[in-house]
Chains A and B, each alone.
Chain A
Amino acid sequence: MKDISNKTILITLWTLTSKEIRRFMRIWIQTLVPPAVTMSLYFVIFGSLIGPRIGEMDGFDYVQFMIPGLIMMSVITNSYANVVSSFYGVKFQKSIEELLISPMPNWVILLGFILGGVSRGVLVGIIVFCVSLIFYPEFEIANLGLTLLVLVLTAILFSLMGFINAVFADSFDDISVIPTFVLTPLIYLGGVFYSINILPELWRQVSMANPMLYVVNTFREGMLGISDVSISFSLTMISIFIFVFTSLSLFLLHKGIGIRE
């Protein structure tokens, strides 16, 4: 008897993933409704009220231009928030001991939390897309394959970042600092509401250093067929970051940093 079987591993993975999905579904008023409400307000104010005065952005109605950006914003914040709050929650309640004492390998623990974050991110993305159809019913997706690929890759990437944040967090303040002071400004300045082509050259160059710009624009390429950046470069960078953050997360779990004494 050398190790536990693949069937056992699959059961442990499904148990953790379904627990994570159950967790955010149980508190759907806190997890699924707010993005729908917030995005409806964005669509009303920036789409219906101010949008017509702005006119077109890169050849599209402003509300239509905003839709991919707002979906990405929701996916990023929700996948990150799900994992950071859930993993810090199990640390805080000490129920992480249930996982660490069990025979579950580290990669299953990581994958279970990431799948939970991806599930919430994708579900919220779909909800926001459905809300956007109320304001722009004629919306058509340009490239469904690319759209879904970027949707899932983005959810994975930000779930991993949420996981790493939670590993290092020692207090509830620590899990809100990065979303508030790092993620949100980068998302708002990452081309959700505008094309960087309207910026002066200096700020256009500065914006190119914002990683959110690549995520938002690649998704916009999938949904609308337009982008301010190279798609192949963006997909490569997202994949590299996923690889780096996965390796770092596994290293942290292996070393027990932040979770074992």
Chain B
Amino acid sequence: MDNFALEISDLRKVYSGGTEALKGISLKVKEGDFYALLGPNGAGKSTTIGIIGTLVTKTSGTVKIFNHDIDQNVSIAKSILGVVSQELNFSQFEKVIDIVITQAGFYGIPKSLAKPKVKIMLKRLGLWDKRDDQARTLSGGYKRRLMIAKALIHEPKLLILDEPTAGVDIELRREMWDFLKEINNNGTTIILTTHYLEEAEQLCRNIGIIDHGEIVVDTSMKDLLRKLDVQGFVLDLEKPLKEAPNIQGFEIRLEDPLTLVTAVSKKSSINNLFSELNKIGINVKSMRNESNRLEELFIEMIKK
């Protein structure tokens, strides 16, 4: 029998203004999973996370964290949950080290035990040199790292990250990915919401797509990507062209004199395209994916 880190059943949320943010969603995330929860703005992702973290009061339905109901066993459920919120939620006037030690204290970890753990965590996240700085003086990237350090200091079994890499530069984003992969490999179940679909594709094994308060997709990343019919490619040419070539079976457009963009169906072979281009004297210097594959699927799913 599977153990579930998170079980959501028929979860509904109607805000006081009458907006129905969640229309009875159900979701199960297995222990050890790295799960992506995607959806456009206003789809209900943050409301779902808010309810799991008890920051938002649900209208109806049940939420269980490692089989602990958040209504009946709230303290235990919360003690094994870590949440990295979308918005910064620490005191801006405190020192970095004090913020994390205090956070440990909120989970019942005494200062004497918290100190060595905090040291390890801050070093791992590259914050140790900033430990005596006031949080408000940190750059955006370091503030994000601090949010993660806070959420992990009590070693939660389930970690939920609500757009953790929003506004973070590429280098730091990659560093965070490595870090998250590492803690997932060490057994922490992770649920991630993000607008960077490449991030979900790189990190997550399973994926749920939420739209207008309903789960429209809940499947494995592999299965979802398998559904993709068409892939876009960008071809860099050796010599400039005046117009796009007309090759049967392929839709080709000239982006600029040295760049062709094409969509290749799964049924066709890209070799055919190259041989046709060769025949008419067009040599391709290099090639890359036009855009993220998942992005295309995502748009397709939420259009339905």
Q: Is there contact, CB below 8 Å, between A98 and B57?
A: no
Q: How large is the interface on B (under 10, 10 to 19, 20 to 34, 35 or more residues)?
A: 20 to 34
Query: Knowing A4-B75, A102-B78, A260-B54 touch, does A95 contact B108 (C-beta < 8 A)?
Result: no
Cβ-based interface call for B148 (8 A): no
Identify the stretch in A6-14, A71-79, A138-146, A224-232 within 8 Å (CB) of chain B at 4 or more residues. A6-14
CA–CA, A255 and B86, complex, Å: 24
Residues of B within 8 A of A98 (CB): 89-90, 102-103, 106, 150
Residues of A within 8 A of B55 (CB): 97, 100-101, 260-261
Q: Is there contact, CB below 8 Å, between B106 and A99?
A: yes
Interface string of A214-244 (1 = CB under 8 A from B): 0000000000000000000000000000000
- Shortest beta-carbon distance from A261 to chain B in Å: 5
Q: Is there contact, CB below 8 Å, between B54 and A103?
A: no
CA–CA, A45 and B98, complex, Å: 43
Q: Is there contact, CB below 8 Å, between B106 and A100?
A: no
CA–CA, A256 and B103, complex, Å: 21
Cβ-based interface call for A16 (8 A): yes
CA–CA, A2 and B69, complex, Å: 11
Name B15's closest neighbour in chain A (CB-CB).
A261
CA–CA, A29 and B167, complex, Å: 37
Cβ-based interface call for A1 (8 A): yes
| A 11-66 contacts with B by CB, 8 A | 11-12, 14-16, 19, 22, 26
Name A10's closest neighbour in chain B (CB-CB).
B108
Q: Is there contact, CB below 8 Å, between B108 and A103?
A: yes
- Shortest beta-carbon distance from B59 to chain A in Å: 12
- Shortest beta-carbon distance from B162 to chain A in Å: 11
Cβ-based interface call for B92 (8 A): yes
CA–CA, A99 and B89, complex, Å: 10
Cβ-based interface call for B179 (8 A): no
Q: Which of B75, B81, B89, B105 contacts A15 (CB 8 A)?
A: B105
Number of A residues, CB within 8 Å of B = 34
Which of B76, B88, B108, B109 is the most central at the interface, judged by chain A CB atoms within 10 Å of its CB?
B108
Cβ-based interface call for A94 (8 A): yes
Residues of A within 8 A of B81 (CB): 101
Residues of A within 8 A of B91 (CB): 89-90, 93, 95
Q: Is there contact, CB below 8 Å, between B73 and A2?
A: yes
CA–CA, A133 and B88, complex, Å: 47
CA–CA, A34 and B113, complex, Å: 38
Q: Is there contact, CB below 8 Å, between B57 and A260?
A: yes
Q: Is there contact, CB below 8 Å, between A95 and B90?
A: yes
CA–CA, A108 and B81, complex, Å: 19
Cβ-based interface call for B83 (8 A): yes
Q: Is there contact, CB below 8 Å, between B105 and A12?
A: yes
Query: Knowing A94-B89, A98-B150, A260-B54 touch, does A11 contact B79 (C-beta < 8 A)?
Result: no
Q: Is there contact, CB below 8 Å, between B88 and A94?
A: yes
Tell me whether chain A's interface is mostly helix, strand or loop, or mixed. Answer: helix
Residues of A within 8 A of B88 (CB): 94
CA–CA, A101 and B85, complex, Å: 10
Residues of A within 8 A of B108 (CB): 4-5, 7-9, 11-12, 103
CA–CA, A7 and B83, complex, Å: 24
Name A259's closest neighbour in chain B (CB-CB).
B55
Residues of B within 8 A of A260 (CB): 54-57
Q: Which of B50, B87, B98, B107 contacts A102 (CB 8 A)?
A: B107
Name B110's closest neighbour in chain A (CB-CB).
A11
Q: Is there contact, CB below 8 Å, between A95 and B76?
A: no
Residues of B within 8 A of A104 (CB): 106
CA–CA, A93 and B93, complex, Å: 10
CA–CA, A260 and B103, complex, Å: 20
Cβ-based interface call for A173 (8 A): no
Cβ-based interface call for A201 (8 A): no
- Shortest beta-carbon distance from A166 to chain B in Å: 15
- Shortest beta-carbon distance from A182 to chain B in Å: 28
Q: Is there contact, CB below 8 Å, between B53 and A261?
A: no
Q: Is there contact, CB below 8 Å, between A19 and B15?
A: no
Query: Knowing A4-B75, A103-B79 touch, does A19 contact B102 (C-beta < 8 A)?
Result: yes
Q: Is there contact, CB below 8 Å, between A100 and B54?
A: yes
Those 4 A-B pairs whose CB atoms lie nearest each other, nearest first: A15-B105, A8-B108, A102-B106, A103-B75
Q: Which residues of B contact A (CB under 8 A)?
A: 15, 50, 53-57, 73-76, 78-79, 81, 83, 85, 87-93, 98, 102-103, 105-110, 150
Q: A98-B106, A261-B56 are in contact. List 14 more A-B contacts (CB 8 A).
A: A4-B76, A12-B107, A14-B105, A16-B105, A16-B106, A93-B92, A96-B89, A97-B55, A100-B54, A100-B55, A101-B78, A102-B107, A103-B79, A260-B57
15 A-B pairs (CB sep. < 8 Å)? A4-B75, A4-B76, A12-B108, A19-B105, A94-B87, A95-B90, A97-B53, A97-B55, A97-B83, A97-B85, A98-B89, A98-B106, A100-B53, A101-B55, A103-B74
Q: Which residues of A contact B (CB under 8 A)?
A: 1-5, 7-9, 11-12, 14-16, 19, 22, 26, 89-90, 93-105, 256, 260-261
